Amino acid sequence: MTKTEFLQELKQRIQEYPVEETEKSMEYYAEMIDDRMEDGMTEAEAIASLGSVEQIAEQIKCELPITTLVKQKTKEKTQGKRMPVWAIILLIVGFPLWGSVLIMILAFIIVFYALIWVADIMLWCNVVCMGAMSFAGIIGFFGCLFQGAFGSALLYLGMSLFMGGVGVLAFLGSLLVTKGIFRGTRWCFLQIKKALIRKEEA
Amino acid sequence: MDIQLKRGMLDICVLSALLREDSYGYKIIKDLQPFVAISESTLYPILRRLEGAGALNVYSAEHNGRLRKYYAITPVGRERIQEFLNEWKGMLAIYEYIEGEMKNHD
Q: Assess A201–B contact: CB distance below 8 Å, yes or no.
A: no
Mean pLDDT score of chain A: 84
Categorize the per-residue pLDDT at A78 as very low, low, confident or very high, splitting at 50, 70 and 90: low
Q: Which residues of B touch A31 (CB under 8 A)?
A: 24-26, 66, 68-69
Range A192-201 average pLDDT: 63
Which of A29, A32, A63 is facing B45, going by the closest CB pair?
A63
- Is 80 exceeded by the pLDDT of residue A200? no
Please give the backbone phi and psi of residue B59, each rounded to the nearest 5 degrees, phi first: -145, 155
For an interface test with B, which of A28, A36, A53 has the most B Cβ atoms less than 10 Å from its Cβ?
A28
pLDDT of residue B74: 95
- The C-alpha of A70 sits at a distance from chain B's nearest C-alpha, in angstroms, of 19
Q: Do A170 and A123 form a contact (C-beta atoms < 8 A)?
A: yes
pLDDT per position as a tens digit, A146-191: 888 888 889 999 999 999 999 999 999 999 999 999 989 888 887 7
pLDDT per position as a tens digit, B49-86: 899 999 999 999 988 888 899 999 999 999 999 999 99
pLDDT per position as a tens digit, B82-96: 999 999 999 999 999
pLDDT of residue A14: 79
* CA distances (Å), origin A54, targets A18, A91, B43, B66: 18, 44, 17, 27
Range A11-30 average pLDDT: 82
Interchain CB distance below 8 Å, B41 and A24: no
Q: Residues A19-38, buried b or exposed e (16+ Cβ, 10 A)? A: eebbebbbebbbbbbbbbee
Range B1-19 average pLDDT: 83
- Is 70 exceeded by the pLDDT of residue B36? yes
Q: Do A124 and A174 form a contact (C-beta atoms < 8 A)?
A: yes
| Closest listed residue to residue B17, CA positions, set B93, B94, B70, B53 | B70
pLDDT of residue A72: 64
ipTM, two decimals: 0.81
Least CA distance to B44: which residue of chain A? A28
pLDDT of residue A79: 62
Pairwise pLDDT comparison (A156 vs A71), residue with the higher score: A156
Range A110-139 average pLDDT: 92
pLDDT of residue A77: 62
Categorize the per-residue pLDDT at A202 as very low, low, confident or very high, splitting at 50, 70 and 90: very low
CB under 8 A, 24+ apart: contacts of B91-95: none
pLDDT of residue A162: 92
Which of A38, A55, A59 is facing B45, going by the closest CB pair?
A59
For an interface test with B, which of A35, A38, A41, A56 has the most B Cβ atoms less than 10 Å from its Cβ?
A35
Q: Assess A39–B contact: CB distance below 8 Å, yes or no.
A: yes
pLDDT of residue A19: 78
pLDDT of residue A110: 93
For an interface test with A, which of B44, B46, B70 has the most A Cβ atoms less than 10 Å from its Cβ?
B44
pLDDT of residue A196: 64
| Closest listed residue to residue B57, CA positions, set B74, B42, B44 | B74
Query: Which residues numbered 52-81 in A keep a CB inside 8 Å of some CB on B?
Result: 55-56, 59-60, 62-63
Q: Which residues of B touch A (CB under 8 A)?
A: 24-27, 39-42, 44-45, 48-49, 64, 66, 68-69
For the domain spanning B3-104, the CATH number is 1.10.10.10
